[in-house]
Chain A
Amino acid sequence: MLKLTAFAGRTARIWNIAPSLLRTSPSLLARTTTTTTTTTRLLPFSTSSFLNHGHLKEPNPGEGLKITFILKDSSQKTYEVCEGETVLDIAQGHNLDMEGACGGSCACSTCHVIVDPDYYDALPEPEDDENDMLDLAYGLTETSRLGCQIKMTKDIDGIRVALPQMTRNVSNNDFS
């Protein structure tokens, strides 16, 4: 819980973002969260690869790296994954709500995640092309990154990332 509070405090220092976005991340992250375990949902109709894009490898026993996702409803999911997998692959492989509109090629901002500041500095710095895409991300914070550009390594074992609330700036057209 201590780490989570720190995470929330740091992300409150948001860069230049519309005031309507300021309420998103901190409140999301400060809320008490419950960890749920993943089970395969049984659907009355046949499921398909459409609902499960990724093909993740199972890590060898004892070699798995841990990653925790904080979802939009504040629940948390922790997975053991192989070194080298990207956050986008992991999220899609587990059917989390993360799009990769450009297929993970750093050409859109749909896999935007907010990284726990305790892990942010352990990541290699974002390149220009990633920053150019982060420019366009909703709910940008100081520790925002693109999921497709974060590769799992031993340095970030245990990393925690939050999916941003998809709050959009309200435009005049919404009331037209």
Chain B
Amino acid sequence: MNSAQIRYLSSLINRKTVSIIGSGPSGFYTAYHLLKKSPIPLDVTIWEKLPVPFGLSRYGVAPDHPEVKNCEETFTTCAEEFSPQTDKKHKLSFVGGVTIGKEITLETLLNNQDAVVLSYGCAGDKKLNIPGEQGTKGVFSSREFVNWYNGHPDFAKDKRFTDFDWSKVSKVGIIGNGNVALDITRVLISNKIDEIWQNTDISPIALNIVRKAPVKDVKLIARRDFLHSKFTNKELRELWELERYGVRGCIDSKFFQKGMFDSFKSDRVLNRRVEMCSEYLKPFDERSKKNYKKASPPTSGYNKFWELDYLKTPLEINRDESGAIKSLTLCNNKIQEDNSLKLLKDSNNILTYDMDLLITSLGYAGVPMLEFSKLSIRFDRDHVANKQGRVLTVTGEIFPHLYASGWIRKGSQGVIASTMQDAFEVGDRVIQDLTVSGTLSSEKSIDLSNIKHSTWVDWERINKKELTRGQKEHKPRSKFLTFEELWHNVEEV
């Protein structure tokens, strides 16, 4: 860290100050919008708990989707253009490795800044809450698994993954029907297809381990039906297109038949999904459109399968004597007229699926900050209570100067484009409020001199090294996988 970094924090002269908690897409797009649109000069600080920026763009987006990470270029331009060392109208600082609520309290930020935006996303897991979910070897949440293969320093060397016997993993169950469930299916079912993974920034530790698994069948289990699947057509198409490698998709005719969804003809997205599945379920030569015949399956035929399975509720995870998962007990269910689910628990409707690995992909859960109760900030189930981005108190009043954007505002749904749109809208409200409010006449500053942290310059150094290492291995990037390595590249105070 350099002295200039301190100086900007103590010289809040003409600019209004905004702190954004979280440097993922929602945090950075909020900053970007503020810097692009604010008529009044701003001094924006982005706080990040990891020493490196970009949140779910770096640690959530699948490694074989590098184009989705291109938003990082916009964030980088933003940070460079408005670096505190320049003389621009606005300033943008990045402070990494500092957790708001630990090293610095949210209250301190609120007392020192003209506006604070919560953009820290969803760092927890939605749970099944069934016996065996905790402590069974080979049962992971999607967030843990995704963070592991993306080289997140909290997970990259986690023994729960590295000590697990992957050489026996043939049957996989994935609970959930979102894009993350599909990403994980793709990673597991194509684990031995090196051309997909070897030139990506997937964690080499995870890739080497996952490659050992003789994965044959992946079942995607949903509580509701085909109509309610949450994944997007792009991700579903990618799975179907794996047939060129001998990977075949299946859906039982109980759950999917042409004609079943005719009453939804006006729904463009569903319609395209129905056509895609109808065509791909036909034998290759019988398909009517050329876009479903891009690459034929190998002459040896299909040897790996993924299946969309519907209307089942998991009841219990069963272990073998070593404590590893052996099977999953489920029951059929049905969707009732009021759209609720009725579990059918008679013996005809109870099933057991043998499986060697289970990933629960029910969605990421927002977690309240510890200080919320003390500050009387309301938290609803999985997100911060808010009115159009303005955070609410437990009594439903607007909490002054505090905002929320992205997943912590709405819950974990939507792609980066929707998060961007959300961040822009919240950014507009911040600007609107800052324009009418007086500046806090705060002489107090946030002293970082005794707090270990990283700056944008540190990130630039880490980034350069990761890119150079990657180049040597014919990858876009080779990430540092531990906190030790990351901090090693941060300049001491």
Does B417 sit at the interface, judged by CB under 8 A?
yes
Tell me if A132 counts as interface (CB < 8 A to partner B).
yes
CA distance A99 to B74 in the complex (A): 9
Q: Is B102 an interface residue (CB 8 A)?
A: no
* A131 CA / B236 CA spacing, docked (Å): 13
User: Is A43 an interface position by the 8 A CB rule?
Assistant: yes
In angstroms, Cα B35 to Cα A140, docked, is: 29
**Among B89, B233, B388, B417, which residue has its beta carbon within 8 angstroms of that of A110?**
B417
Contacts of A109 in B (CB 8 A): 417
B residues 81-97 touching A (CB-CB < 8 Å):
81-82, 87-89
Instruction: Tell me whether B163 is interfacial, beta carbon within 8 Å.
Output: no
- For B63-100 the 0/1 string (1 means CB < 8 A from A) is 00101101101100110011000011100000000000
In Å, the complex CA distance between A43 and B380 comes to 43
For A129, the chain B residues whose CB sits under 8 A away are 234
Q: Name the residue on A nearest B72 (C-beta).
A: A103
User: CB distance B421 to A132 under 8 Å?
Assistant: no
From B189-197, B249-257, B300-308, B407-415, give the one contacting chain A: B407-415
* Contact with B425, one of A44, A102, A135, A168 (Cβ below 8 angstroms): A168
Contact B88 A45 (CB under 8 A): yes
B68 touches A50 (CB 8 A): no
Number of residues from B at the complex interface, CB < 8 A:
46
A107 close to B (CB within 8 Å): yes
A48 at interface by CB-CB < 8 Å: yes
The reply to whether B234 and A15 contact each other, CB–CB distance below 8 Å, is no
Given contacts A101-B74, A135-B232, contact A176 B380 (CB under 8 A): yes
Tell whether, in the assembled complex, residue B87 and residue A49 are in contact, meaning their CB atoms are under 8 Å apart.
no
Interface check B116, CB cutoff 8 A: no
Contacts of B416 on A, CB cut-off 8 Å?
101, 108
Q: Are B88 and A132 in contact (CB-based, < 8 A)?
A: no
Given A101-B74, A107-B68, A133 and B388 contact (CB-CB distance below 8 Å): no
Report chain B residues within 8 Å CB of A103: 67, 70-71, 73
Q: Which of B67, B71, B89, B418 contacts A45 (CB 8 A)?
A: B89
Asked if B146 is at the interface (CB within 8 A of a chain A CB), the reply is no
Secondary structure type dominating chain B contacts: helix
Q: Which residues 377-392 in B have Cβ within 8 Å of A in the complex?
A: 380, 383, 385-388, 392
Q: If the complex has contacts A16-B267, A105-B67, A108-B416, are A135 and B272 also in contact, measured as CB distance less than 8 A?
A: yes
Q: Does A155 contact B (CB under 8 A)?
A: no
Q: Are B87 and A174 in contact (CB under 8 A)?
A: no
* Residues of the B chain whose Cβ atoms lie less than 8 Å from the Cβ of A168: 421-422, 425
Which residues of chain B come closer than 8 Å to A16, judged between CB atoms?
Answer: 266-269
CB of A58 within 8 Å of the partner chain? no
A49 to B77, CA, bound (A): 8
Q: Given A45-B87, A50-B78, A168-B425, A108 and B266 touching (CB < 8 A)?
A: no
Cβ-based interface call for B486 (8 A): no
A18 to B312, CA, bound (A): 30
In the assembled complex, the Cα of A53 lies from the Cα of B74 at a distance in Å of 9
Per the CB 8 Å criterion, the residue count for chain A at the interface is 38
Cα distance A108–B69 when bound, in Å? 11
Docked CA distance A103–B69 (Å): 9
Give A46-86 interface residues, CB cut-off 8 Å to B: 46, 48-51, 53
Q: Which of B87, B268, B388 contacts A46 (CB 8 A)?
A: B87
Q: Cβ of B159 < 8 Å from any Cβ of A?
A: no
Residues of A within 8 A of B78 (CB): 50
B291 at the interface (CB under 8 A from A): yes
A142 CB to nearest chain B CB (Å):
10
Residue pair B234, A43 in contact (C-beta under 8 Å): no
In the complex, residue of chain A having the shortest beta-carbon distance to the beta carbon of B413: A171
Interface contact A135-B89, CB-CB below 8 Å: no
Minimum CB–CB distance for B344 against chain A, Å = 30
Chain B residues whose C-beta falls within 8 Å of the C-beta of A173 in the assembled complex: 380, 383, 386, 409-411
How far in angstroms is the closest Cβ of chain B from A70? 20
Q: B418 — which chain A residues lie within 8 A by C-beta?
A: 136
Whether, in the assembled complex, A166 has its beta carbon less than 8 Å from a beta carbon of chain B, the answer is yes
A49-B81 contact given A99-B420, A102-B71, CB 8 Å threshold: yes
Task: Judge whether B421 and A135 touch: CB under 8 Å.
Answer: no
Q: How far, in angstroms, from A30 to B61 measured CA to CA in the complex?
A: 40
- What is the chain A residue whose CB lies nearest that of B241? A128
Instruction: Check B36 for interface membership: any CB of A closer than 8 A.
Output: yes
- Interface residue? A138 (CB, 8 A): yes
Closest to A106 in B: B67
Are A138 and B89 in contact, CB atoms less than 8 angstroms apart? no
A42 to B416, CA, bound (A): 33
A106 to B408, CA, bound (A): 27
Interface string of B258-289 (1 = CB under 8 A from A): 00000000111100100000000000000000
- Report the bound CA distance from A103 to B57 in whole Å: 14
Known contacts: A102-B68, A110-B417. The answer to whether A136 contacts B232 by CB under 8 A is yes
* B342 touches A (CB below 8 Å): no
Closest Cβ of chain B: how far from A165's Cβ, in Å?
12
- B461: interface (CB < 8 Å): no
Leading 7 A-B pairs by shortest Cβ distance = A103-B70, A45-B89, A50-B81, A132-B234, A105-B67, A107-B67, A108-B417
On A, residues with C-beta under 8 Å from B are 15-16, 43-46, 48-51, 53, 99, 101-103, 105-110, 127-129, 131-133, 135-136, 138, 140, 166, 168, 171, 173-176
In the assembled complex, 12 residue pairs joining A and B whose CB atoms fall closer than 8 Å, in A order, are A16-B266, A48-B81, A50-B35, A99-B74, A107-B65, A108-B68, A108-B416, A132-B237, A135-B233, A168-B425, A176-B385, A176-B387
Q: Which residues of B contact A (CB under 8 A)?
A: 35-36, 41, 65, 67-68, 70-71, 73-74, 77-78, 81-82, 87-89, 232-234, 237, 266-269, 272, 291, 380, 383, 385-388, 392, 409-411, 415-418, 420-422, 424-425
Given contacts A101-B74, A135-B269, A136-B418, 18 further A-B contacts (CB under 8 A): A45-B87, A46-B88, A48-B81, A50-B36, A50-B77, A99-B74, A102-B67, A102-B68, A102-B71, A108-B416, A127-B291, A129-B234, A135-B233, A135-B234, A168-B421, A168-B422, A175-B387, A176-B385
